[in-house]
Amino acid sequence: MDGNGRWARRRGMPRSVGHKAGADNLESMCDYLNSIGVKALTVYAFSTENWSRPQDEVDALMDLLYGYLLTVEEKFKNRNMKLKISGDTSAFSEKIRGAIAHAEEVTAPGDGMVLNIALNYGGRSEITRAARLAAEAVKEGKITPDDIDEDYIGGLMYTADLPEVDLIIRPSGEQRLSNFLLWQAAYAELWYSDICWPDFKEKDMERAIIDYQNRDRRFGNV
């Protein structure tokens, strides 16, 4: 969900206003994607690197996150959607961790789209964590090193219970992954847009999806 800050600054407003606009846009985007049958949407909301932003911006993002989490139960239930958080949530306040646990629990029965929010998430840290978990399993005698294959490591990713990533969209003109879903991106299609996230609307998403549908995915085959 990139470009919130620039979107706001271009309008002479504080960056936090852009983050709010971005959060509002996520809501309508979820409605749209859920309605067309998308099974899972992962959004990058806060990276392991975002802590180094000015404290007031980090605080504003945490307030926004907490406020958002409080709305999940009511909003998701009507839409049959399910919330999932990916990342090291131990770094968040107790208040936020409680709200995450509650939101995940009450939406767990939903069989519509899963909204997976990457929070304090980094692709490298996710892979490192998987390596550590695998090493611990070997040490405890639960598996041998030979048991560690791609399926096993994939099963240790936060996204283990989600379908394969088909399409990664980065708005706001940047053309890089910035530590997002590094493992999962192996065969994902990429789509870049110059539009900042708060302005990235249904028609833009539809363009990306139609383009995706017309690609020839060979997965290394011919």
In 3D, which of 135, 129, 120 has the Cα closest to residue 160? 129
Give yes or no for residue 1 binding ligand IPE (CB under 6 A).
Answer: yes
126 near Mg ion, rule: CB under 5 A: no
Do the Cβ atoms of 85 and 104 come closer than 8 Å? yes
> Helix (H, G, I), strand (E, B), or coil: what is residue 44?
strand
Sign of the C-alpha dihedral, residues 65, 47, 183, 138?
negative
The residues, any chain, with a CB within 8 Å of residue 101's CB and separated by 6 or more, are none
The binder of 205, among Mg ion, ligand IPE, none, by C-beta within 5 to 8 A per type, is none
Cβ proximity to ligand IPE: between 3 and 123 the closer is 3
Q: Are 167 and 215 in contact (CB under 8 A)?
A: no
Which tokens go with 131?
A: 């390596």
Binding partner of residue 129 among Mg ion, ligand IPE, none, CB cut-off 5 to 8 Å per kind = none
- With CB under 5 to 8 Å by kind, the binding choice for 122 among Mg ion, ligand IPE, none is none
Min dist CB 33 to ligand IPE, Å, is 19
Residue 146 catalytic? Answer: no
- Contacts with Mg ion in 1-20 (CB under 5 A)? 2
- Cβ contact 197:7 at 8 Å: yes
Q: Is 50 a catalytic residue?
A: yes
> If you count them, how many residues does the chain have?
222
Taking the complex as a whole, how short is the minimal distance between the CB of residue 146 and ligand IPE, in angstroms? 40
Query: Should residue 122 be labelled a site residue for ligand IPE when binding is judged by CB under 6 A?
Result: no
If binding is defined by CB under 6 A, does position 5 make contact with ligand IPE?
yes
How many alpha carbons fall within 13 Å on the CB side of residue 108? 6
Which positions are catalytic? 2, 50
Q: Could you list the residues that contact ligand IPE (CB under 6 A)?
A: 1-6, 19, 22, 45-46, 50, 61, 172
Q: Could you list the residues that contact Mg ion (CB under 5 A)?
A: 2
